[in-house]
Structure 1
Amino acid sequence: MAKAKKVVSFEDALWSACDKLRGTVEPAEYKHVVLSLIFLKFVNDKFSDRRKELVAQGKEKYLDLQEFYDMKNVFFVPQESRWPFIMENAKQPDIALKIDTALNTIEKQNPSLKGALPDNYYSRLGIDVSKLAALLDEINNIQTT
Protein backbone atom coordinates (compact mmCIF):
# COMPACT_ATOMS: atom_id res chain seq x y z
CA MET A 1 0.00 0.00 0.00
CA ALA A 2 1.35 3.42 -0.99
CA LYS A 3 2.33 5.74 1.81
CA ALA A 4 0.13 8.84 1.98
CA LYS A 5 1.97 12.00 1.01
CA LYS A 6 2.20 14.53 3.83
CA VAL A 7 1.16 17.96 2.59
CA VAL A 8 2.48 20.98 4.47
CA SER A 9 2.00 24.70 4.00
CA PHE A 10 4.31 26.43 1.59
CA GLU A 11 5.85 28.54 4.35
CA ASP A 12 6.49 25.55 6.62
CA ALA A 13 8.09 23.67 3.74
CA LEU A 14 10.39 26.61 2.95
CA TRP A 15 11.52 26.90 6.57
CA SER A 16 12.10 23.18 6.78
CA ALA A 17 14.02 23.21 3.50
CA CYS A 18 16.28 25.96 4.83
CA ASP A 19 16.82 23.93 8.01
CA LYS A 20 18.04 21.03 5.85
CA LEU A 21 20.65 23.32 4.27
CA ARG A 22 22.11 24.75 7.48
CA GLY A 23 25.83 24.12 7.69
CA THR A 24 25.89 22.85 4.11
CA VAL A 25 25.69 26.03 2.05
CA GLU A 26 25.84 29.72 2.85
CA PRO A 27 22.48 31.20 3.88
CA ALA A 28 22.64 33.56 0.87
CA GLU A 29 22.52 30.46 -1.37
CA TYR A 30 19.39 28.94 0.20
CA LYS A 31 17.04 30.71 -2.18
CA HIS A 32 18.87 29.45 -5.27
CA VAL A 33 18.97 25.87 -4.04
CA VAL A 34 15.37 25.72 -2.84
CA LEU A 35 13.64 27.78 -5.51
CA SER A 36 15.16 25.81 -8.38
CA LEU A 37 13.83 22.59 -6.88
CA ILE A 38 10.41 24.14 -6.27
CA PHE A 39 10.40 25.27 -9.90
CA LEU A 40 11.28 21.74 -11.03
CA LYS A 41 8.41 20.29 -9.01
CA PHE A 42 5.97 23.01 -10.09
CA VAL A 43 6.59 22.57 -13.84
CA ASN A 44 6.28 18.82 -13.44
CA ASP A 45 2.97 19.13 -11.58
CA LYS A 46 1.56 21.39 -14.31
CA PHE A 47 2.90 19.03 -16.99
CA SER A 48 1.29 16.03 -15.24
CA ASP A 49 -2.02 17.86 -14.97
CA ARG A 50 -1.92 18.59 -18.71
CA ARG A 51 -1.11 14.94 -19.50
CA LYS A 52 -4.12 13.83 -17.44
CA GLU A 53 -6.26 16.36 -19.29
CA LEU A 54 -5.11 14.98 -22.66
CA VAL A 55 -5.86 11.42 -21.55
CA ALA A 56 -9.31 12.46 -20.33
CA GLN A 57 -9.95 14.00 -23.75
CA GLY A 58 -8.91 10.75 -25.48
CA LYS A 59 -5.77 12.33 -26.94
CA GLU A 60 -3.21 9.79 -25.68
CA LYS A 61 -1.37 9.86 -29.01
CA TYR A 62 -0.44 13.50 -28.34
CA LEU A 63 1.11 12.97 -24.90
CA ASP A 64 4.66 13.39 -26.20
CA LEU A 65 4.03 16.32 -28.56
CA GLN A 66 5.26 19.58 -27.13
CA GLU A 67 2.73 21.61 -29.07
CA PHE A 68 -0.10 20.22 -26.94
CA TYR A 69 1.59 21.63 -23.84
CA ASP A 70 2.64 24.92 -25.41
CA MET A 71 -0.96 25.68 -26.42
CA LYS A 72 -1.91 25.73 -22.71
CA ASN A 73 1.26 27.59 -21.64
CA VAL A 74 2.63 24.49 -19.94
CA PHE A 75 6.33 23.69 -20.14
CA PHE A 76 7.10 20.33 -21.75
CA VAL A 77 9.05 18.15 -19.30
CA PRO A 78 11.21 15.38 -20.80
CA GLN A 79 11.34 12.00 -19.03
CA GLU A 80 14.72 12.61 -17.33
CA SER A 81 13.46 15.90 -15.92
CA ARG A 82 10.24 14.66 -14.38
CA TRP A 83 9.80 14.90 -10.62
CA PRO A 84 9.04 11.19 -10.12
CA PHE A 85 12.37 10.36 -11.81
CA ILE A 86 14.19 12.80 -9.53
CA MET A 87 12.49 11.35 -6.44
CA GLU A 88 13.22 7.74 -7.51
CA ASN A 89 16.91 8.68 -7.70
CA ALA A 90 17.04 11.04 -4.70
CA LYS A 91 19.36 8.80 -2.70
CA GLN A 92 21.73 7.99 -5.57
CA PRO A 93 25.27 9.38 -5.43
CA ASP A 94 24.74 11.26 -8.70
CA ILE A 95 21.49 13.00 -7.73
CA ALA A 96 23.09 16.47 -8.02
CA LEU A 97 24.03 15.68 -11.62
CA LYS A 98 20.52 14.38 -12.30
CA ILE A 99 19.02 17.63 -10.99
CA ASP A 100 21.41 19.70 -13.11
CA THR A 101 20.53 17.57 -16.14
CA ALA A 102 16.81 17.94 -15.44
CA LEU A 103 17.03 21.74 -15.27
CA ASN A 104 19.25 21.92 -18.35
CA THR A 105 16.97 19.62 -20.36
CA ILE A 106 13.85 21.63 -19.46
CA GLU A 107 15.63 24.82 -20.47
CA LYS A 108 16.70 23.36 -23.82
CA GLN A 109 13.24 21.93 -24.49
CA ASN A 110 11.53 25.25 -23.72
CA PRO A 111 13.30 28.17 -25.45
CA SER A 112 11.45 30.78 -23.36
CA LEU A 113 13.52 29.60 -20.37
CA LYS A 114 16.89 30.25 -22.07
CA GLY A 115 19.32 31.54 -19.46
CA ALA A 116 16.76 31.43 -16.64
CA LEU A 117 17.82 28.21 -14.90
CA PRO A 118 21.10 27.50 -13.08
CA ASP A 119 23.79 25.67 -15.05
CA ASN A 120 25.55 22.76 -13.27
CA TYR A 121 24.71 24.44 -9.98
CA TYR A 122 23.97 21.39 -7.81
CA SER A 123 27.06 19.50 -8.96
CA ARG A 124 29.25 22.47 -8.00
CA LEU A 125 27.63 22.93 -4.57
CA GLY A 126 28.84 19.57 -3.27
CA ILE A 127 25.83 19.03 -1.00
CA ASP A 128 25.96 15.67 0.76
CA VAL A 129 23.64 13.14 -0.93
CA SER A 130 21.68 12.49 2.28
CA LYS A 131 21.07 16.22 2.84
CA LEU A 132 20.04 16.71 -0.77
CA ALA A 133 17.70 13.69 -0.54
CA ALA A 134 16.16 15.14 2.65
CA LEU A 135 15.70 18.48 0.89
CA LEU A 136 14.00 16.74 -2.05
CA ASP A 137 11.69 14.94 0.36
CA GLU A 138 10.75 18.28 1.88
CA ILE A 139 10.06 19.86 -1.51
CA ASN A 140 8.03 16.79 -2.45
CA ASN A 141 5.58 17.65 0.35
CA ILE A 142 4.72 21.02 -1.19
CA GLN A 143 1.38 21.15 -2.96
CA THR A 144 2.04 23.28 -6.06
CA THR A 145 -1.24 22.90 -7.92
Structure 2
Amino acid sequence: MTNQEFKDTLWEAANALRGSVSAAEYKYPVLGLIFLKYVSDLFEAQADVIRQRLANPKSNLYIEDEEIREKNEDSFINDKIFYEADNIFWVPEDVR
Protein backbone atom coordinates (compact mmCIF):
# COMPACT_ATOMS: atom_id res chain seq x y z
CA MET A 1 0.00 0.00 0.00
CA THR A 2 1.42 3.35 -0.99
CA ASN A 3 1.41 6.39 1.24
CA GLN A 4 -1.31 8.01 -0.88
CA GLU A 5 -3.47 4.87 -0.77
CA PHE A 6 -3.11 4.82 3.01
CA LYS A 7 -4.18 8.47 3.25
CA ASP A 8 -7.13 7.81 0.94
CA THR A 9 -8.21 4.85 3.07
CA LEU A 10 -8.03 6.94 6.24
CA TRP A 11 -10.00 9.73 4.60
CA GLU A 12 -12.73 7.32 3.48
CA ALA A 13 -12.90 5.81 6.98
CA ALA A 14 -13.22 9.26 8.55
CA ASN A 15 -16.01 10.16 6.15
CA ALA A 16 -17.83 6.90 6.92
CA LEU A 17 -17.54 7.55 10.67
CA ARG A 18 -18.72 11.12 10.24
CA GLY A 19 -22.02 9.91 8.84
CA SER A 20 -24.61 12.66 8.65
CA VAL A 21 -22.74 15.11 10.89
CA SER A 22 -21.79 18.25 9.00
CA ALA A 23 -18.11 18.92 8.46
CA ALA A 24 -18.43 22.13 10.49
CA GLU A 25 -19.67 20.20 13.54
CA TYR A 26 -17.40 17.19 13.04
CA LYS A 27 -14.41 19.23 14.14
CA TYR A 28 -15.57 19.30 17.77
CA PRO A 29 -15.26 15.57 18.54
CA VAL A 30 -12.15 15.30 16.37
CA LEU A 31 -10.39 18.17 18.13
CA GLY A 32 -11.37 16.63 21.46
CA LEU A 33 -9.81 13.33 20.45
CA ILE A 34 -6.65 15.07 19.27
CA PHE A 35 -6.42 16.86 22.62
CA LEU A 36 -6.87 13.59 24.52
CA LYS A 37 -4.14 11.95 22.44
CA TYR A 38 -1.83 14.91 23.13
CA VAL A 39 -2.47 14.71 26.88
CA SER A 40 -1.92 10.95 26.85
CA ASP A 41 1.37 11.26 24.97
CA LEU A 42 2.63 13.96 27.35
CA PHE A 43 1.65 11.85 30.33
CA GLU A 44 3.59 8.84 29.02
CA ALA A 45 6.60 11.03 28.21
CA GLN A 46 6.54 12.43 31.76
CA ALA A 47 6.61 8.90 33.17
CA ASP A 48 9.85 8.36 31.24
CA VAL A 49 11.22 11.66 32.60
CA ILE A 50 10.44 10.53 36.15
CA ARG A 51 12.25 7.23 35.54
CA GLN A 52 15.27 9.12 34.22
CA ARG A 53 15.28 11.44 37.23
CA LEU A 54 15.21 8.51 39.61
CA ALA A 55 18.30 7.07 37.90
CA ASN A 56 20.20 10.35 37.43
CA PRO A 57 22.68 11.10 40.25
CA LYS A 58 22.33 14.85 39.57
CA SER A 59 18.54 14.76 40.12
CA ASN A 60 16.92 15.57 43.43
CA LEU A 61 14.80 12.40 42.96
CA TYR A 62 17.84 10.14 42.57
CA ILE A 63 17.69 6.79 44.34
CA GLU A 64 21.13 5.24 44.41
CA ASP A 65 20.20 1.65 45.20
CA GLU A 66 18.86 0.14 41.97
CA GLU A 67 16.73 -2.45 43.75
CA ILE A 68 15.04 0.18 45.90
CA ARG A 69 14.65 2.46 42.85
CA GLU A 70 12.91 -0.28 40.83
CA LYS A 71 10.74 -1.25 43.80
CA ASN A 72 9.52 2.35 44.27
CA GLU A 73 9.40 3.47 40.63
CA ASP A 74 5.67 2.75 40.27
CA SER A 75 4.78 4.85 43.30
CA PHE A 76 6.67 7.81 41.83
CA ILE A 77 5.15 7.33 38.37
CA ASN A 78 1.65 7.14 39.85
CA ASP A 79 2.06 10.22 42.02
CA LYS A 80 0.18 13.26 40.73
CA ILE A 81 2.70 15.66 42.28
CA PHE A 82 5.47 14.71 39.82
CA TYR A 83 3.24 15.57 36.86
CA GLU A 84 1.83 18.80 38.21
CA ALA A 85 5.33 20.00 39.11
CA ASP A 86 6.16 20.06 35.40
CA ASN A 87 2.71 21.35 34.32
CA ILE A 88 1.65 18.02 32.82
CA PHE A 89 -2.01 17.00 32.93
CA TRP A 90 -2.60 14.22 35.44
CA VAL A 91 -4.41 11.25 33.91
CA PRO A 92 -6.09 9.11 36.57
CA GLU A 93 -5.18 5.42 36.45
CA ASP A 94 -8.70 4.22 35.66
CA VAL A 95 -8.86 6.27 32.44
CA ARG A 96 -5.40 5.54 31.05
Question: TM-score, normalised to structure 2's length?
Answer: 0.59
Structure 2 counterpart of 1:50, which letter? Q
* Pair 1:63 & 2:77 matched: yes
CA distance in 1, matches of 2:26, 2:14: 6
Residue 19 (structure 1) aligns with: 15
Structure 1 counterpart of 2:17, which letter? L
CA distance in 2, matches of 1:31, 1:62: 37
Residue 114 (structure 1) aligns with: none
Residues 1-145 of structure 1: matches in 2 within 5 Å?
Answer: 16=11, 18-58=14-54, 60=73, 61-82=75-96
CA shift in 2, pair 1:71/1:20, >3 Å: farther
Deviation at residue 29 of structure 1 after TM alignment: 1.7
CA shift in 2, pair 1:24/1:50, >3 Å: same
CA shift in 2, pair 1:20/1:50, >3 Å: farther
**Structure having the higher Rg:** 2
CA distance in 2, matches of 1:27, 1:21: 12
CA distance in 2, matches of 1:80, 1:26: 33
| Structure 2: gaps (5+ residues) | 55-60, 62-72
What is the percentage of aligned positions where both structures have the same residue?
39
Residue 65 (structure 2) aligns with: none
Structure 2 counterpart of 1:56, which letter? Q
| Structure 1: gaps (5+ residues) | 1-7, 83-145
Deviation at residue 80 of structure 1 after TM alignment: 3.0
Aligned residues: 70
Q: SS where residue 57 of structure 1 aligns?
A: helix
CA distance in 2, matches of 1:63, 1:37: 24
CA shift in 2, pair 1:25/1:73, >3 Å: same
Select the structure with the greater relative contact order (CA < 8 A; seq sep ≥ 6): 1
